[in-house]
Chains A and B, each alone.
Chain A
Amino acid sequence: MKGWKTALGVCLVAVMLFPVYWMVNVSLTRTSDMRADPPHWFPWDPTFEGYAAALGQQLPALATSLFIGLGTVALTLAVSLPAGFALAKLRPRGTRTIDFLLLAAQMIPAVVMAMGFYAIYIRLGLLNTVAGLIVADSTLAVPFGVLLFRAFMAGIPAEVMAAAQIDGASTWRTFRSIVLPLSRNSVITVSLFTFLWAWSDFIFASTLNRNSDVIPITLGIFRYIGNNTTQWNSIMATAVIASLPAAVLLVLAQRYIAAGVTAGAVKD
C-alpha cells in the first residue's frame, strides 16, 4: 500500500538528479563516442582519460580552491562568532541598526560587490591575489554566520553564563570556554556553508582573479569550456571532482545543511 510512494519518490529523484548522472556518464565517455547520435545512455566502455586529463591540469586549481575555502572559513568565523555572541548575550547598543545592515548586505548583488572590490583592489594591488579573493568570498558568508550564531547562542541558558561569571570568569573567558564549546554544531554548519560558497564562487573569481596564474577550480572549468569544446569528458571529469565537497557534505553533514537552510528563513 505504502510502497507506491517510495517508488514515486525514487522516480522523482531520478528525474531531478538526471543532470548529475549525465555529468558522470559524460565524464566516463571516450572522446570518439562523444558525438555519437543518439548519445550513449550508459558508459558501457568507460574510460578514465577525462579524469587523467583533469587531474593532470587542474590539480593546482583544486589546491587553490581548498586554500581559499579554508581561509574564507577562518575569516568568517573570526568576524561572526564574537559578533553573534555580542548580539545574543551582551545587549549592545545599535542592535537594530546592525540587524538592518545585515539584511541589506544580503541584498547587494555580487556583481555590484565585485565592481566595488575591483575598484579598491586595483589601487591596493590586490587584484589576482588569493588574499583578495578570500576577503571578497567572505562577504558571501558573514551575514549568514552572524545571524546563525546569534540565533543559536540566544538559546544557551542564561544560568550557564551566570555560573561562569560568578566564578569570576571574564566575558572573554566565558565566551571562549563556555559559549564556544556549546556552539560546536552551529560552528560546523557555518563552516560547511562558508567553505562550499567559497569553493563554488564564480563571480568574484572571474572578476577579481581573471588574469591570475593562481586560479580556483571554478575558473579552471570555465577556461576549459572556453578553450576546447571537444573534450567534454575532461570538462565533466573536472566538474565531478569539483562536486566532491558537496557530496561529502551531503553524506556527512546532512542535518547541518537542513539547519542552515531553514535558519533565518522560517524561524526567528
Chain B
Amino acid sequence: MTSLRTTGTVAVGGAAHAAPPRRRARRRARRWTAFAFLAPLIVYLVVFYSYPLYRNIELSVHDYTPRAFVQGNPEFTGLENYLDILADDTFLRALRSTAVFTLASIAAQYAIGLALAVFFHRHFRLSAALRAMFLVPWLLPLIVSASTWSWMLNSENGIVNAALQAFGIGQINWLTSPDTSLLAVTIANIWLGVPFNLVILYAGLQNIPADLYEAAGLDGAGPWQRFRRITFPLLRPVSLITLLLGLIYTLKVVDIIWIMTRGGPADASTTLAIWSYREAFGTGQPDFSPAAAVGNLLILIAFAAGLVHVRLQRGEDRA
C-alpha cells in the first residue's frame, strides 16, 4: 500500500512538468473515475447535510410563524432571535442543565467504563461473554431504555423506590420533582453510555504492551501503582478521544430526556437540545425560529469541542 502510494506520487509529480499527452489523458481519466465514485457522496452531503443546515440558519434569522412556514414569506429579523434567546430566563437554566447533564454523564461513564475495562483486561473464565453482555444497554432502542427507566423510577410503583424503602428512605419523586428530574435522566444516560466507554477503553488497553506490566511486576509494583504509572498515562490519548466523543454525543441528547420528563417539571431537566426540540416540535404552537437559533448555538458548542478534538489528535500524532 505504502509503496504503491509512493510510486503513484512520483508518477504524478513527474508528469506535472513534461508528461506525454497519453499519460496526462490517463491521469485525467483516473481523476474523473475517482470523482464519479465520490459523486453520490458529494451530492448526498450537499443535499442532505448542507441544505438542511442552510435552512436551519435561514429559519433562525427570520420570524417564521406557522403560516409563514407554509407560504414562505417570513419577515427577516437578523439576529433578533439570538438576542431574544440569550435574554430568555430559560437560557441560563438550560445552559446550566446542559453543563451538569453533560459533565456528570461523561465523567461517570468514563470512570465506570475504565474500571470495567481494567477489570476485563485480563482474561478469565467467561470474560468475553460477560463483556459482550455489557453492550446490551447501548444496542437497545432509546425508547425502550427510556420507558423502562421511567417505570423503574415511577414514584408509587417503581422498583427503585421500593428498594430504597427497604433501607428506610422515603418516596422520592424522581421524575415529577424539579429537584431530582435532572439527576434521574442523568442516571439513565450514564447507564446508556457505559458500554461505549467500556468498548473503546478496552480496545485501548489491548494496545498497551504486556511486558510493561511484567517489568513493573518484577519491580514489585502493586495493582494500584501499575494502574497509576502505566495504564492511566498510556491510555491518555484514548481517554481524551473517548471523553470528547462523549461530550459531543451527550450535548445532542434529546430522546432520553424527552421521553422520561419532557424537560420538566418546571424546566428542571431542560437542556439546550431539549429546549430547541420543545420550541419546534414539543408544543401545539411550533416556534421554529428561536428553536433554530438554539440549535445553532448548540452546533457552535459542539464545533468548539470538535476543534479541541482535532487539536489534541494532531498533538498526539506528533508525539
Chain A residues with a Cβ under 8 A of chain B: 2-3, 5-6, 8-10, 12-13, 16-17, 19-20, 22-23, 26, 34-39, 78-80, 82-83, 85-87, 90-93, 98, 101, 103-120, 122-123, 135, 138-139, 142, 146, 154-155, 157-158, 162, 171, 175, 196, 199-200, 202-203, 206-207, 210, 217-218, 221-222, 225, 232, 235-236, 239, 242-243, 246, 249-250, 254, 257-258, 261-262, 265-266
Contact = CB atoms under 8 A, between A and B. Distances in A.
Given A17-B133, A101-B45, A232-B151, A82 B37 contact: yes
B102 interface: no
Contacts of B191: 16, 19
A167 to B, nearest CB: 17
A86 B42 CA distance: 12
Interface stretch (B16-24, B80-88, B219-227, B251-259): B251-259
Given A110-B254, A203-B255, A225-B259, A119 B140 contact: no
B154 to A, nearest CB: 9
Contacts of A257: 135, 139
Q: Which of B34, B241, B245 has the most CB of A within 10 A?
A: B34
Interface string B188-224: 0001001010011001100100000000000000000
B144 A239 contact: yes
Contact of B34 (A12, A36, A91): A91
B144 A243 contact: yes
B266 interface: no
Contacts of A103: 306, 310
Given A16-B137, A266-B241, A2 B259 contact: no
10 closest residue pairs by CB, A with B = A116-B52, A92-B34, A90-B34, A83-B41, A200-B141, A86-B37, A246-B139, A112-B295, A109-B252, A158-B4
Contact of A116 (B51, B139, B149): B51
Given A103-B306, A232-B151, A206 B38 contact: no
Given A2-B124, A6-B126, A202-B255, A111 B38 contact: no
19 contacts: A2-B124, A10-B130, A17-B137, A19-B148, A22-B151, A79-B44, A92-B35, A98-B38, A98-B45, A109-B254, A109-B298, A112-B292, A115-B59, A118-B280, A119-B69, A142-B44, A207-B281, A218-B143, A262-B203
B105 interface: no
Interface string B153-182: 000111100100100000000000000000
A79 B40 contact: yes
Contacts of A3: 125
B134 interface: yes
B55 interface: yes
Given A83-B41, A202-B143, A90 B291 contact: no
Contacts of B4: 158, 162
B1 A158 contact: yes
Contacts of A39: 157-159, 162
B56 interface: yes
Nearest to B158: A39
Contact of B55 (A20, A119, A162, A222): A119
Contacts of A114: 277, 280-281
Q: Which of A90, A107, A117, A218 has the most CB of B within 10 A?
A: A107
Given A104-B306, A107-B303, A115-B288, A98 B41 contact: yes
Given A6-B126, A109-B295, A120-B51, A265 B200 contact: yes
Contacts of B276: 109, 111-112, 115
B299 interface: yes
Contact of B144 (A91, A92, A146, A221): A221
Nearest to B69: A122
Contacts of B14: none
A6 B130 CA distance: 9
Contacts of B291: 111, 115
Interface in B273-303: 273, 276-277, 280-281, 288, 291-292, 295-296, 298-299, 302-303
B30 interface: yes
Given A111-B252, A112-B295, A243-B141, A262 B55 contact: no
A221 B241 contact: no
A93 B132 CA distance: 41
B295 A202 contact: no
A266 to B, nearest CB: 5
Given A83-B40, A90-B34, A235-B147, A9 B127 contact: yes
Contacts of A26: 151
Contacts of B299: 107-109, 112
B141 A261 contact: no
B147 A225 contact: yes
Contacts of A10: 126, 130
